[in-house]
Amino acid sequence: MMGFKRYLAKRAITMFGVLMATLLVTVALVGSNMDAILNQSVALDVRTQVTNNKQLLASFKTPEELDNYTQNQIKQRILALGLDQPWYSPPRLGLAMYKILTLDFGHAKFLTSDTGSSDVKDIILEKLPRTILLFTTATVIISILGIFIGAIAANKVNSKIDKITSAFAVISSSFPVWWIGLLMIFLFAFIYPIFPARATPTVPVTDPGYLVSLLYHMALPLITLVLIGFGSWSYLVRNFLIGILQEDFIMAKRAVGIDEKKIMYRHALKNAAPPIVTVLALGLSGSLGGAIITEAVFDWPGMGRLYFEAISVLDLPVIIGATYVLTAFFLASIFLADILYGYFDPRVRRQ
Amino acid sequence: MSFSPKEIWHEFSRNDIGLIGIGIILALLGLSIIAFVSIPVETFKEWNDPANWLSYPKSALPAWVNYFLPQKIPEHLVLLPQVSIQKTDRVMAVTNLFAVDYQYDSFPSDFIYQYSTKYSASPLIQMSVTRPDGLELELMSTSLPSSDTQTKFSGMIFSTDDFMKKNLKSDSDHFLFPFDTLSSENIVFSKLDENKILKGHYVFKVTFYDVDGNLSLDESKFILGGKVYGIMGTDELRRDLAVGLLWGTPLALFIGISVAVGSVILGLVYGVYAGYKGKTTDEAMMRFNDIIYAMPVLPLLIILAVTIGNSIFLIVGFLVIFGWVGIAKVSRSMALQIKTLQYVEASKLMGQKDWKIIFKHILPQLLPYTFASIAISVPGAITTEAGLSFLGLGDPTFPTWGQILHDASSYGAAARGLWWWIVPPGIMIAITGLAFVFMGHAMDTIVNPKLRR
C-alpha cells in the first residue's frame, strides 16, 4: 500500500506542476496585453475622478497645470499598484499566481453572468454546473451503452453485430464532433423541428421552468455526444473483453460448465474493469477539452462557450479564470483515472 | 524488427484496408494537383474579398439537384453578348443582345448587367427585353457621366433599381395584376394574366448610343441570377464552394502531413535520447513529457493562436508542440529495449559516440514504427486545425475546410437548411482522416506482428 501512496503522491505533484505550467503559459501569453489594459484603465479612472471633482478642477489656472496634476496622479497610482514593473517581474507574477490559486480572478471587463454580476467567480460558478451536467450525463450514457454493446460484440466475434460495431467505431471517430453537431441541428431543428437549434434556454434563470427548459435544450448536444462517443467506446470494451476471454481462468470456467452469460458479465467484465474505467475517466477529460467547440456549436451556455466568448472579446480575467477551472477539471479527471487504475490493478500499487 | 521496403510492400499489398487508404490518399493528391492547375493561387487568395464574387449567386444549391426535382430551380446564368454596331451620320449605336431560353419553374432571383467601357462625351445606355409572347418592355435608360477626355468607366445595372420599376409601371396596363410589391424580375418573367413564370425565349437588348462615335466596350455580360450554381453551389457570401473545397485539399494534406512528420521526428529523437541516456536525464525528460502530456491542448492552442498569431505555419508549429509527447513515450520504451542488445553494447565498448549510436543503431530500428505513427497522427492534426478554424481562429488568407464550416455556422447554415454548405467539408475532413487511419492501421499490423492474426 505504501507503493500506491507514493505513486499517487508522484502523480499529484505532476498534476500540480501541469496546472502551474498551464497557468504560467497563459499568464505569459496574455500578460503584455494585460499590462496595457490595466494601465489604460488606471488612466481612465484618474481622468474621470479629476473631471468629476468640480472644486479641484476650478483650482487649476492653466490647462498645463491640470495636465501635470493628472499625469502625477496616474504615475502615483501605477506605482501604488506595482504596475511600473512588467508582468514578468517576480513580485507581480507571484501575486498573480497567488490570486489565481485562491480563486480570486477579479472582475470581468465585458462579460457578465446571467444574473448580471461581473465577478469572474460568479460567472464561472454559474456556467460550470451546466458543463458538468452535459458532459457527465453523456459519459455515463456512453459507458453504459458501450459496455453493453461491447459485451455483445465480444461474445460473438466476427458476427454481423461485431463487424457493424467495429466499422461504426472507426467511422464515427473520424468525424469531428462539432460537424456531427451541425448535421444534427440541420436534421432536428430544420428538417424535423423537434429540438431548438440554439441550446441556450429561452426562459430567464429565475423562472421555475428553467430546469425543464435547460434539459430540453440539452437533448440535442447530448444525443450528438453519445452518438459520436459510444461507437469507439464499445469497440474498446470489446477488445479488452476479447483479450480477457482468451485467458486461462476463463477457459477453466468454461470447462467446468459455467454459463457463458455469467462468465461474460461476472468474471470477464470484472477483470476488464481497470482499463475500462481508466479509459472512461480519460475520455471524460478529453471531451471536457473539446467542450469549447462542442458548446460553441450548440450555443450551450457552459464553460466552453464562456471561454470562447472571453477569447473573442479578449476578456483577460475571464480567460485566466476559465483556463484555470477547465485545466483543474481536466487534471482532476486524469488523476481520477490514475487512482482508479491503481485501485483496480494491484500491480501498479506494488511498483 | 527490420524489414526491407520490398517485404513491407508485399505485406501491404495483401491488406485491403491499407490499399483503400492509399487509393483515397492518391485521389486527394490528384485533387490537389487539379486545384493547383485549374485555379490560380491568386483567385483563391481572393476568397474573402466580396468584390471578387459579385457575379455569383447567393446561397445557391448545387446545379445537379435539378436532376432530382420535378420543379426545375433556375440556374445562375452568365450570358455573353452578340454585339452589332450601327453608325448613322453622327450617332453610333452599339447593340448587345443577350438571348436565353428560360425553361425553369420559378423566377430568377435578380438580373444584373455588368459593363466596362471607354468613351468621351456622354453616351446613353438603353436596356429593354423582348419576351416569348412578343411584348417588349423598356427597362432602363440612363447616361454615363460626361467627360471631355477619353475615360474608362465600369458600371452595373441592377434589377433592383427603382428606376427600372418605374419604367415597368408605364407598361402595367398589359398585365392583369398589380405591381406594388413585386420586384422587377418577377414582372419581366411573368405571364400577363397572372403572376406566374412565363417560359420561353427572352432577349435582353442593351444599346449604347454615342455622339462622338469612339465608344468601345471592354466588358459586357448579363447575369441572370439563379438559385443553383456549379457542382457544389455557393455560400451566403456568393463564394463558389467548389473552389473552396478543392483548394482545401492541398491545405489539409499540408497541415496534416507536416504536423505528423514534425511531431513524430521530434518525439522520436526526444524519446530515444531519454531512453538511451537513462537515469536522471531520462527521469527529468519524462517528467517534462508528463507535464506537456496532461496539458489541456485546445484552450492553450486557442490562446496561442489569439496572442501569437494564426498564420498557417504558426498553427502547424503549435500543433507539433502538443503532438510529439505520445510518440516520445513509446519510442523511449523501444529505445530501452534496443539499448540492451549486444551489438549496441559492443559499439559502446568500442568507444562509439552517443549520437552516432543513436542515429546509426537505434533510430533505423524504429523506422517502420515511425512511418506507421506518422500516418496515424495525420487525422488528429487535420481535425484539430479544422476545429481551430471552425472557432474562427484559423489563417484567414488560406481558408480551409474548417473555415468554410466556420462561415457556415456563423451564418446559421444548419438551422436554415443550407446543407450543401455543411455536408461536403465535413465529409472531406472525415475521408482524409479515414484514409490515413486505414494506411496507418495496415502499416501497424505489418510492423507489430502481435496484431497479425
pLDDT digits over B250-295, tens only?
Answer: 999 999 999 999 999 999 999 988 988 888 888 888 888 888 887 8
d(CA B320, CA B325): 9
The domains of chain A, with CATH numbers, are 2-101 (no CATH), 120-349 (1.10.3720.10)
Burial category of B6 from C-beta neighbours within 10 Å (exposed 0-12, middle 13-18, buried 19 and up): exposed
Q: Which residues of B touch A289 (CB under 8 A)?
A: 296-299
A286/B contact by beta carbon, under 8 A: no
How many Å lie between the alpha carbon of A304 and the closest alpha carbon of chain B? 9
Instruction: Identify the band that residue B452 occupies on the pLDDT scale cut at 50, 70 and 90.
Output: very low
Q: What is the mean pLDDT of chain B?
A: 86
B227: pLDDT strictly greater than 50: yes
* Residue A4 near residue A340 (C-beta atoms within 8 A): no
- How many CA within 13 A on the CB side of residue A256? 10
B373's CB contacts (< 8 A; 6+ apart) are B260, B264, B327, B330, B440
Q: Which residues of B touch A170 (CB under 8 A)?
A: 434, 437
* Residue A81 near residue A39 (C-beta atoms within 8 A): no
Q: What is the DSSP letter of B109?
A: S
Q: Which residues of B touch A24 (CB under 8 A)?
A: none
Whether A331 and B294 lie within 8 Å, measured CB to CB? yes
Q: Which residue of B has its CA nearest to A288?
A: B296
d(CA B303, CA A22): 11
Whether A311 and B298 lie within 8 Å, measured CB to CB? no
Higher pLDDT, B339 or B204: B204
d(CA B344, CA B173): 99
pLDDT at B2: 52
d(CA A42, CA A166): 60
Cell of B312: 498557417
Q: What is the DSSP string of A168-181?
A: HHHHHHHS-HHHHH
Q: What is the DSSP string of A83-137?
A: TTS-TTSHHHHHHHHHHHHTT---B-SS---TTS--BHHHHHHHHHHHHHHHHHH
Q: Which residues of A touch B287 (CB under 8 A)?
A: 14, 17
pLDDT at A243: 81
Helix (DSSP H) and strand (DSSP E) numbers for chain B: 16, 9
d(CA A21, CA B327): 21
Long-range contacts of residues B3-11, Cβ cutoff 8 Å, at least 24 apart: B3/B368, B3/B446, B3/B447, B8/B368, B8/B443, B8/B446, B11/B446
Whether A327 and B296 lie within 8 Å, measured CB to CB? yes
Per-residue pLDDT of B26-37, as tens digits, reads 999 999 999 888
- CA quadruple A91, A94, A100, A101: dihedral positive or negative? negative
Higher pLDDT, B90 or B413: B413
How many Å lie between the alpha carbon of B30 and the closest alpha carbon of chain A? 22
Q: How many residues does chain A have?
A: 351
CA–CA distances in Å: residue B18 to residues A43, B10, B328: 64, 12, 25
| Neighbour tally for A206: CB within 10 Å | 8
Whether B307 and A33 lie within 8 Å, measured CB to CB? yes
How does strand B92-102 pair with strand B82-87? Answer: antiparallel
pLDDT at B226: 84
Q: Which residues of A touch B302 (CB under 8 A)?
A: 292, 307-308, 311
Name the amino acid, one letter, at A193: P
d(CA A130, CA B281): 44
Q: Which residues of B touch A186 (CB under 8 A)?
A: 414-415, 417, 419, 422
d(CA A195, CA A190): 9
Percent pLDDT > 90 in chain B is 20
Cell of A82: 506595482
B290/A contact by beta carbon, under 8 A: yes
Q: Phi/psi of residue B170, each to 5°?
A: -70, -15
Q: pTM of the full predicted structure?
A: 0.82
How many Å lie between the alpha carbon of B378 and the closest alpha carbon of chain A? 11
Whether B287 and A314 lie within 8 Å, measured CB to CB? no
Query: How big is the CA angle at B263 (ends A173 and A7), to the nearest 5 degrees?
Result: 80
d(CA A234, CA A278): 14
Mean pLDDT by 10 residues, chain A (351 residues): 73 84 81 72 77 75 79 80 72 77 78 80 88 88 89 84 87 87 89 81 75 86 89 86 82 81 79 77 74 87 87 83 84 80 66 47
d(CA B8, CA B15): 11
Whether B295 and A22 lie within 8 Å, measured CB to CB? yes
CA torsion, ordered A192, B403, B437, A184, to nearest 10 deg: -10
Cell of B93: 449605336
A323/B contact by beta carbon, under 8 A: yes
A-facing residues of B in 388-447 (CB < 8 A) are 390-393, 405, 408-409, 412-417, 419, 422-423, 425-426, 429-430, 433-434, 437
CA–CA distances in Å: residue A316 to residues A46, A48, A121, A319: 22, 23, 13, 5
Instruction: Identify the band that residue B402 occupies on the pLDDT scale cut at 50, 70 and 90.
Output: very high
B239: pLDDT strictly greater than 80: yes
Residue whose C-alpha is closest to residue A121's, from A135, A102, A136, A134: A102
- Run of H or E including A61: none
What is the distance in angstroms between the CA of the first residue and the CA of the last residue of chain B?
17
Q: What is the DSSP letter of B75?
A: B
How many Å lie between the alpha carbon of B299 and the closest alpha carbon of chain A? 7
Higher pLDDT, B20 or A285: B20
Per-residue pLDDT of B419-433, as tens digits, reads 899 999 999 999 999
Q: For residues A285-299, b (16+ Cβ closer than 10 Å) or e, as one string?
A: bbbbbbbbbbbbbbe
d(CA B102, CA A234): 55
The domains of chain B, with CATH numbers, are 5-47+240-447 (1.10.3720.10), 63-225 (2.60.120)
B321/A contact by beta carbon, under 8 A: no
Whether A326 and B413 lie within 8 Å, measured CB to CB? no
| Neighbour tally for B72: CB within 10 Å | 15
Burial category of A309 from C-beta neighbours within 10 Å (exposed 0-12, middle 13-18, buried 19 and up): middle
Residue whose C-alpha is closest to residue B35's, from B401, B434, B435: B401
What is the distance in angstroms between the CA of the first residue and the CA of the last residue of chain A?
10
d(CA B39, CA B399): 14
Nearest by CB to residue A18, choosing from B291, B413, B433, is: B291
